[in-house]
Amino acid sequence: MNLRLQVNGKRLLKRLDDFAAIGATPAGGVDRQALSLEDRTARALLADLATQRGFSVFQDAMANLFIRRDGNAPDRPPFLIGSHLDSQPTGGRYDGALGTLAAFEVLETLEDAAIDTEAPIELVAWTNEEGSRFAPGTMGSMAFSVGHIPEDWQATRGTDGVPLRNALAATLEALPSAERKALGFPILGYLELHIEQGPSLEKENIPIGIVTGIQGTRWFEVTVTGQAAHAGTTQLGFRRDPMVAVTSALHALYNGIMPADEAARLTVGRIAAQPGSINAIPGSVTLTIDLRHPLLERLIAIEAQVLAAFQTACAAQGCSVDLRKTFDMSPALFSKTVVEGLEQAARHLGLPVKHMVSGAFHDAFYVAKVAPAAMIFVPCREGLSHNEAEYVEPEHSIAGAQMLLQSTLDVLAM
Ligand code: GLV
Ligand code: MN
Ligand code: MN
Ligand code: MN
């Protein structure tokens, strides 16, 4: 159906440039962290573009932003397409923005060609996918999937100390003309276009990834407590140094987990010593751990390995450890039907595809709990992402948007 309908590639590339200017960093990336002024500016620009095209703009209580192109059957639940507009602190121009702006391009292409759909199609820009300012990630889609904001987020603060509830209120107020929608309204399905954020599509020279599932992620905040003491006077035998415990636990984990299991991922992205004085043994060391694995049983086993490594290292140093899980996303498979829709769309477009499991987590994980969902990947240069140098070839961005358009129509027709 509608085989000759083409997205406007030039318009999409211009929009990518325009949004990359919001929160642009000197090194060519973006800093547009969730619910920041820059995030609000990007949302306002998208809402503005939507209004100019006659689309309706909505927000829910989590500030998830929806842009609706009506269908002929206005009472049918909408089909959602989208991604996120927030970025890492030193993020790239495409992570999230590509999927969001390609979704807008789909709406505009349908509008330009006056193509009617039965169901409304709605772009969604999920709030706080990244989780780097407010943990955890995928907050917007998680709240959407349960239909309420979890009670324990009331106390959540950003890395800058700003309470989540204040940042949410300011973001909602910044778009006063957007209508309110219930959190977790019914939807027909969901498709998300995203950059792969890994090297395999580029390496194999395949333009489209059909994402069949997402590997599991667990996040931890670890505090190792010892005793602060004088750096010059405290002999080895009197030290209870949490830095020694942490470095020895990490040494064991870095050597024990990833070399032994190719599919495992262990990352410490944030670490700090308190009080943080050059000439004091720290009283405590805090760090984050990001664990990933496609198999739930391995994720569980590696979590146990992490805890054991810290307990052993702490026992040797007279320290104690507190390991708090802040995010738990189990490995998940996407809808077979939507994956079939993607395969059909790729055949229609004559695009080679590779089936793959996502190494990154995405909002599609939570949306898939309430409706059939799947994802499309496009290659990015050297697989680099969460890095200001992130780059996507223009033809890959355009092919991704074309694939999003075709698969939206094909899935709706199924
Ligand atoms: C999402 O940004 C992730 O870390 O996978
Ligand atoms: Mn992303
Ligand atoms: Mn990201
Ligand atoms: Mn992500």
What residues does each domain of the chain span? 9-214+332-412, 216-329
**Cα dihedral 33→34→40→45 (10° resolution):** 80
pLDDT at 3: 54
CATH of 216-329, one of 3.30.70.360, 3.50.50.60, 3.40.190.10, 3.20.20.300: 3.30.70.360
Local mean pLDDT, 10-residue blocks, the chain (414 residues):
80 98 98 98 98 98 98 95 98 98 98 97 98 97 98 97 98 97 98 98 98 97 98 98 98 98 98 98 98 98 98 98 97 96 97 97 97 98 98 98 98 94
CA distances from 331 to 100, 214, 298, 304 (A): 24, 6, 11, 17
Distance 11 CA to ligand 3 centre (A): 24
The protein residues having their C-beta less than 5 angstroms from ligand 3 (an ion) are 95
- Residue 214: phi and psi, rounded to 5, are -130, 135
Which residues are known binding-site members for Zn(2+)?
84, 95, 130, 194, 386
Distance 358 CA to ligand 1 centre (A): 10
Topology of domain 9-214+332-412, per CATH? Aminopeptidase (3.40.630)
Atom of ligand 1 nearest to the CA of 360: 5
Protein residue closest via CA to atom 5 of ligand 1: 360
Atom of ligand 1 nearest to the CA of 138: 1
pTM to 2 decimal places: 0.94
pLDDT at 74: 82
> Where does 53-186 have alpha helices with state H?
97-112, 139-146, 164-173
**Are 357 and 294 contacting, i.e. CB atoms less than 8 angstroms apart?**
yes
- Angle CA(340)–CA(79)–CA(93) in degrees, nearest 5? 85
pLDDT at 356: 97
Does the CB atom of residue 360 touch ligand 1 within 6 A?
Answer: yes
Does the CB atom of residue 137 touch ligand 1 within 6 A?
Answer: yes
Q: Which ligand is nearest to the CA of 359?
A: 1
